[in-house]
Amino acid sequence: MKNSSRAPQNWLYLAQLSVNYLGWVFCWNVATTYMSPNILLGLVDDSVKNTRLGLMSGAGNIMVIILIPLIGALSDRTTSEMGRRRPYYIAAASMMAVFIMLMVYSGNYLFLLALIVLMHAAAALWFPNRALVRDIVPIERRGRVSGLIQIANLIGMMSAHVLAPRLVEAGRLLLLAIIAGAVNVVSNLWVALAIREPAPAFRSARPADSWKEIYFPKLESGDGLKRLAAFNLLTQMGMVAMVCFLLYFIKDQVDPVHFNKTFGTVVLIAMTAAIPSSFGSGVIADRLGRKRVLLIGCLLQLACILNFLISPRLHSTLYISGLLYGLGNGAYLSMYWTLVSDLVPEADAGKYMGLMQYTFLIPWAIVPPALGPMVDRFGASSGPGYNILFVVIVFLLAGGLIMIRKIPETFKTAPAPVADFS
């Protein structure tokens, strides 16, 4: 697990960058999508569940917002023979395995809240792993590698949504926690052993960043990165508002008995659709450019929310929206991280990717605490609370769509055909 002056560039080697995304996402979804909401139902009154869930999300993501730029900057300057990224994601996976086990023994809301905050701290520690794409993968292959990473994310999510509902409804939370923690640790060890991290040539010549530079750096990539950040911020505010409260929406208005399994089915439909969308969008973007694919992804996500808003509260409505969301989100996330990889400066990839992650974290920090009480106040089970929520989401996604035209196209022409990836 030492640095190498040059990492291999063959396709199978680069594909291994996606392995620990699968493990991390599997563990994260088990912990935050199933275990914490279901444990929460046993700790608080049903009339305030959305409010308390929103507060947990907000507190956890504030922790991530504080830590990610600092950890990204530290990672960029790490001089360990293990590499700049490896020490962080290995430590994060180990911490997550401990915290998910402790979650099973939550006896009150404050203990559960504390564990959620600590899990988000571990997520911040894992984030330098994302910079490996910028460190290792050449630009003409980043679209496809980003697509593979998104597929790994989706497989991790799908696995969580297959296993977790069954074990949660069977009361086997401890077994679920053990499986999730083990998968996470093993997948991160795989990447640590398989991937060679290049030694940065610029390390010795660069002074340490000040606190101001870490948290409020000058964006050397210019307006393009700022516009991409603003676009993703609006879009993610809408997506977070849906994802955070979808499980409780199903419980309150569609399937109050088997809501975990129904929710899992919806997500499985979405993820199944997102797998070909993720990889296909990466291949197309490496030939025709990024923005067209991004636009299509955003339109499909908007259609998902409109279907929730105007269609009857039936299982079929859930499944159609799941399909639309999966097709759109697979392309959307693949293109977003491809654009980020294209735009960030090489020397500070970890720090800049951490800052771009703000556009995912800020929505999680402010939207659930703001909208959860609104849903509870206007009525979750029988009132218009969820309809108001969906209207807010539509406006947020429409705002994101308007901003796409301001994002620069980073890959305007297709590269020369590559006949052999080996």
pLDDT in tens, 359-415: 888 998 999 999 999 999 888 777 899 999 999 999 999 999 888 888 877 766 544
pLDDT of residue 75: 80
Residues of the chain with pLDDT > 70: what percent? 86
pLDDT at residue 351 above 70? Answer: no
Q: State how far the Cα of 264 lies from the Cα of 257, in Å rounded to an integer.
A: 14
| pLDDT, the chain, mean | 84
Lowest mean pLDDT among 50-54, 82-86, 170-174, 272-276: 82-86
pLDDT of residue 188: 92
Which amino acid makes up residue 272?
T
Three-state DSSP state, 4: strand
pLDDT in tens, 235-256: 999 999 999 999 999 999 999 9
* Secondary structure letter of residue 46 according to DSSP: G
pLDDT of residue 219: 56
* Angle between helix 223-253 and helix 349-378 axes, rounded to 10 deg: 30
Which amino acid makes up residue 211?
W
Which amino acid makes up residue 166?
R
Tokens of 292: 């067209």
**Over residues 127-144, mean pLDDT:** 74
**Over residues 191-205, mean pLDDT:** 65
pLDDT at residue 199 above 90? Answer: no
CATH superfamily of 11-200+222-406: MFS general substrate transporter like domains (1.20.1250.20)
Q: How confident is the model at residue 302 (pLDDT cuts 50, 70, 90)?
A: very high
The DSSP code sequence of 175-227 is HHHHHHHHHHHHHHHHHHHHPPPBPPTTGGG-PPPPHHHHHS---TTTHHHHH
Instruction: State the distance between the two ends of the chain, measured CA to CA, in whole angstroms.
Output: 23
> CB-hemisphere CA count at 13 Å for 82?
14
pLDDT of residue 214: 67
pLDDT at residue 324 above 70? Answer: yes
Cα dist from 125 to 73, 94, 95, whole Å: 11, 11, 10
- How many secondary structure helices (H) and strands (E) does the chain include? 16, 0
pLDDT in tens, 36-82: 999 999 999 988 999 999 999 999 999 988 888 788 878 877 777 77
Lowest mean pLDDT among 128-142, 148-162, 165-179, 320-334: 128-142
